[in-house]
């Protein structure tokens, strides 16, 4: 059979091969501008990743926490401005010595199973989270609770510092004052769970998550979707407005954009850099997007338990060899170079602060001190083996890994990239003596510098499974600094202590910060009541949909291609 290329197909192919062809975002789906919030509708969102767990006591990653924020309420939380506010606790009081909190619970709060929340549920859930058999990723956050050491070690049957003093009253005693304790109670780890969760952890609770949040779990299909539906007994009258929220899992960012333009997604966060720029510069989409707060530090961890990273000179060599400007240039809108652990949004930058720097000559000196001299002119020397570097598949961590691989090769350190899914990444990097180095990222759990040290660099956070301290870094001085900062209420002194902690990280280099990250979030005009929260990622609890508009938009799906063919190609508006 003869094949004759049609002229049209060649023209299309040729035009699509030219830079700048297409790509302009389709116009947003219409909004009626209803003045009052409406009840009903399902909010659709997606992520490229999978959810590792929905058990409040164990899930501790940015993907899981988004779903958790819908399923669980905590004693305290944050208001729209990021200020600490009561949630399930109506009020609290702190004793004069700063060591005992008394919480009065709201009355009439119904859990997802229909039972009323009592102080017993709060105590049981706290004990469950800190039980020695529970793979809680950061139990050391709560080590100031009296009796923690004995309980977490399995030597005591109950957590003596948590005492039920009434059906709706709970007292928590601390071994010493803790300036971060209330912030820690806002984490889902301490969320009250239904009685069905039991007193000890079991893996199956992941599929039947049950708490006191505005939504309850309807379906969780690993790798496919999570669907939560409105909890009709939610204590806050009239909330939530949405009937359901459905997260599609494992959807490529490129696909997410087109689903968004077709109206299959109402909210979009995982945009490629190019798509993000297109939307940001589009007049038609003005007001339908915003940058989230940058509360993230991303970089590289080096496992101090394993050679060659058990040698501080080798770690420093790696730290000096990383060119942050180059890495950030790949995602100029989302990232800025970062050479300190704590993001500038939490500790503003000042001259004279300790920070890492790019210095290839120093990298070579440190490598020689580690016993692996390298001559860049001849390519002789360097570390003899390729070092495995763990990154997350299809993410910016993979792209940054490819750049860091080039940069380290220039000083004689060869990397072999291993890219895996997010859950596998978490499991492997959290296991002792398993992964030598890899991508590291940390999102603030609460607005305090300690969240960038305690869970990822203190010796207390080293665990046999799910260790957040992927460097397995144990440094007595750092531990002492963090201890003092925790009990201190003097802000100036705390700032000094955290500055010394930054200095230690520069000197010891178990973790090399490379850049921060902030996403540009987009939402359809008919998704109302949503703005990026200053602290909580993708906090869609207060959102609502105009159901009539949504139905109309679904009847007329649009694609960029259909729109472009109908309207003609144009530059971004």
Partner 1 sequence: MLDPRSLRRFRKNRGALVGLGIVVALGLYALLAPALSAFPPELSDFTAPRTPSGTLSGPSARHWLGVDHLYRDVWSRLAHGARISLGVALLATTLSSVVGASVGMLAGWFESTRARLVDTLLMRLVDIGLSFPYLLLVMAIGAALGDVTLSTILLVLGLTSWFGTARLIRSKTIQVRGLDYVLASRALGQSTFRLLLKHVLPNVAGPLIVVASASVAQMIIAESVLSYLQVGLPPPTATWGRMLQEGQSYLGVSPRLAVAPGVCIFLAVLGFNLLGEGLRDALDPRED
| Site for partner 1, rule CB under 8 A | 13, 16-24, 252-254, 257, 272-278, 281, 326, 329-330, 332, 393-394, 398-399, 401-403, 405-406, 416-419, 560, 572
The encoded tokens of residue 534 equal 């200053």
Of the two residues 25 and 537, which places its CB atom closer to partner 1 in the complex?
25
Q: How far is the CB of 570 from partner 1 (least distance, A)?
A: 12
CB of 391 to partner 1, least distance (A): 9
* Cβ atoms < 10 Å from Cβ of 42: 17
Q: How far apart are CA 260 and CA 527, in angstroms?
A: 12
- Closest distance between partner 1 and the C-beta of residue 406, in Å? 6
User: CB of residue 296 vs partner 1: minimum separation in angstroms?
Assistant: 21
Closer residue to partner 1, CB minimum distance, 252 or 353? 252
User: Nearer Cβ to partner 1, position 434 or 459?
Assistant: 434
275 vs 448, beta carbon nearer partner 1: 275
C-alpha distance from residue 489 to each of 30, 98, 176, 494, 501 (Å): 51, 10, 12, 8, 17
CB within 8 A of 158, min separation 6: which ones? 127, 147, 151
Q: Provide, rounded to whole angstroms, the least separation between the CB of residue 311 and partner 1.
A: 25
Q: Do 124 and 190 meet the contact criterion of CB atoms below 8 Å apart?
A: no
Neighbours of 495 (CB within 10 A): 14
Planar angle of CA 54, 55, 56, nearest 5 degrees: 105
Minimum distance, C-beta of residue 505 to partner 1, in the bound complex (Å): 27
Least spacing, CB of residue 399 vs partner 1, in Å:
6
For residues 178 and 487, is the Cβ–Cβ distance under 8 A? Answer: yes
Helix, coil or strand: residue 225: strand
Encode 172-199: b = buried (16+ Cβ within 10 Å), e = exposed: bbbeebbbbbbbbbbbbbbbbbbeebee
Euclidean distance between CA atoms 181 and 102, whole angstroms: 13
Please state the closest distance from residue 376 (CB atom) to partner 1, in A: 14
Question: Look-up: residue for tokens 């952890």?
Answer: 201
Residue 86 is encoded by which pair of tokens? 């009561």
Give 201 or 425: the residue with its C-beta nearer to partner 1.
425
Give the C-alpha distances (Å, rounded to integers) separating 386 from 382, 389, 413, 418: 10, 9, 7, 12
CB of 326 or CB of 503, closer to partner 1? 326
Q: Which is nearer to partner 1, 330 or 344 (CB)?
A: 330
Quick one: 200 or 329, whose CB is closer to partner 1?
329
Minimum CB separation of residue 420 from partner 1 in Å reads 8
Residue found under tokens 């009253």: 169
Q: Is 52 or 257 the residue whose CB approaches partner 1 more closely?
A: 257
Separation CA 327–CA 403 (nearest Å): 6
Please, which residue, 48 or 103, has the CB nearer to partner 1? 48
Nearer to partner 1 by Cβ, of 165 and 559: the residue is 559
In the bound complex, what is the minimum distance in angstroms from residue 374's beta carbon to partner 1?
18
d(CA 440, CA 305): 16
Measured between alpha carbons, how far is 63 from 220 in angstroms, rounded to an integer?
14
End-to-end CA distance of the chain: 46
User: Which pairs from 308-313 meet CB under 8 Å and 24+ separation?
Assistant: 308/370, 308/372, 308/383, 308/387, 309/436, 309/437, 311/370, 311/371, 312/507, 312/508, 312/509, 313/366, 313/367, 313/369, 313/370
Residue with smaller CB distance to partner 1, 303 or 469: 303
Could you tell me the sign of the dihedral formed by the alpha carbons of 71, 72, 78, 82, in that order? negative
Nearer Cβ to partner 1 (278/467): 278
The strands making up 415-420's β-sheet, listed across from edge to edge, are 415-420, 387-392, 437-443, 296-302, 511-516
């Amino acid at each position: 059979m003869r094949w004759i290329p049609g002229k049209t197909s060649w023209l299309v192919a040729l035009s699509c091969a030219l830079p700048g062809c297409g790509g302009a975002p389709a116009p947003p789906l219409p909004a009626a501008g209803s003045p009052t919030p409406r009840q009903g509708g399902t909010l659709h969102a997606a992520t490229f990743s999978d959810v590792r767990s929905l058990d409040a006591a164990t899930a501790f990653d940015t993907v899981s926490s988004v779903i958790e924020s819908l399923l669980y309420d905590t004693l305290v939380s944050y208001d729209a401005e990021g200020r600490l506010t009561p949630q399930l606790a109506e009020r609290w009081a702190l004793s004069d010595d700063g060591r005992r909190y008394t919480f009065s619970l709201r009355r009439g709060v119904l859990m997802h199973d229909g039972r009323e929340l009592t102080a017993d549920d709060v105590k049981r859930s706290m004990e469950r989270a800190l039980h020695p058999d529970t793979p809680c990723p950061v139990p050391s956050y709560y080590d100031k609770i009296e009796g923690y050491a004995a309980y977490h070690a399995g030597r005591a049957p109950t957590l003596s510092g948590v005492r039920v003093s009434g059906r709706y009253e709970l007292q928590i005693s601390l071994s010493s004052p803790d300036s971060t304790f209330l912030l820690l109670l806002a984490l889902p780890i301490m969320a009250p769970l239904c009685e069905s969760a039991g007193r000890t952890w079991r893996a199956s609770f992941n599929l039947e998550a049950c708490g006191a949040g505005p939504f309850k779990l309807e379906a969780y299909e690993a790798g496919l979707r999570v669907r939560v539906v409105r909890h009709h007994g939610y204590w806050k009258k009239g909330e939530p407005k949405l009937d359901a929220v459905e997260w599609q899992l494992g959807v490529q960012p490129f696909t997410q954009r087109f689903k968004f333009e077709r109206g299959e997604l109402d909210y979009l966060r995982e945009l490629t850099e190019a798509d993000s720029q297109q939307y940001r510069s589009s007049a038609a989409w003005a007001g339908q997007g915003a940058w989230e707060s940058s509360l993230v530090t991303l970089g590289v961890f080096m496992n101090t338990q394993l050679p060659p990273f058990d040698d501080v000179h080798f770690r420093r060599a790696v730290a000096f060899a990383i060119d942050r400007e180059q890495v950030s240039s790949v995602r100029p809108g989302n990232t800025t170079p970062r050479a300190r652990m704590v993001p500038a949004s939490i500790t503003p930058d000042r001259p004279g602060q300790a920070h890492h720097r790019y210095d290839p000559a120093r990298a070579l000196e440190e490598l020689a001190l580690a016993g692996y001299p390298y001559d860049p002119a001849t390519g002789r020397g360097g570390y003899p083996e390729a070092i495995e570097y763990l990154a997350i598949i299809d993410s910016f961590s993979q792209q940054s890994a490819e750049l860091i691989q080039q940069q380290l090769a220039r000083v004689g350190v060869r990397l072999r990239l291993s890219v895996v899914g997010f859950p596998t990444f978490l499991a492997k990097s959290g296991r002792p003596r398993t992964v030598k180095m890899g991508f590291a990222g940390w999102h603030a759990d609460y607005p305090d510098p300690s969240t960038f040290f305690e869970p990822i660099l203190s010796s207390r956070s080293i665990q046999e499974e799910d260790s957040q301290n992927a460097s397995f870094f144990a440094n007595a001085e750092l531990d002492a600094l963090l201890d003092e900062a925790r009990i201190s209420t003097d802000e100036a002194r705390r700032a000094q202590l955290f500055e010394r902690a930054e200095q230690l990280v520069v000197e010891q280099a178990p973790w090399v910060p490379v850049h921060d990250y902030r996403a540009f979030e987009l939402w359809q005009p008919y998704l109302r009541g949503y703005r990026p929260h200053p602290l909580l990622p993708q906090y869609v609890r207060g959102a609502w949909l105009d159901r009539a508009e949504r139905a109309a938009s679904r009847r007329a799906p649009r694609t960029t291609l259909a729109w472009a063919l109908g309207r003609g190609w144009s530059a971004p508006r």
